[in-house]
Amino acid sequence: SFQNLIRSAIRHIEHNTCIRFKENGGDRDGLRYFRGNGCWSNVGRTGGRQLISIGYGCDALGIVAHETLHALGLWHEQSRDDRDQFIRVNFARIIRREQRPKGSVQHPGMPSNYSN
């Protein structure tokens, strides 16, 4: 079921990180999963009930965990502001129509310590 999928993804995150969740807490802020169009979430806390869309075709533990981690503030690794120190892209090997603008997400004042 949809609820079991969400619970499994949350257990997966808890098992592999120091993050802990509280189901149906009375707090003002929280996560709200729903069957939307596509798989998406805002990155980071928005305040109130944060929406996480788990559309049809997104019924995989990895996708639900991925979108949950976006809601908790994690960006894609290739968007890290220090990514160029670790990744080299050979743009000459990318088909021209598939190329996207070069850039990275800037997080001024926030350390990039992903080992925690």
Write out the catalytic residue numbers.
67
Q: Which segments are annotated as binding site for Zn(2+)?
A: 66, 70, 76
Q: Which segments are annotated as binding site?
A: 66, 70, 76
Residue 90, C-beta contacts closer than 8 angstroms, at least 6 positions apart = none
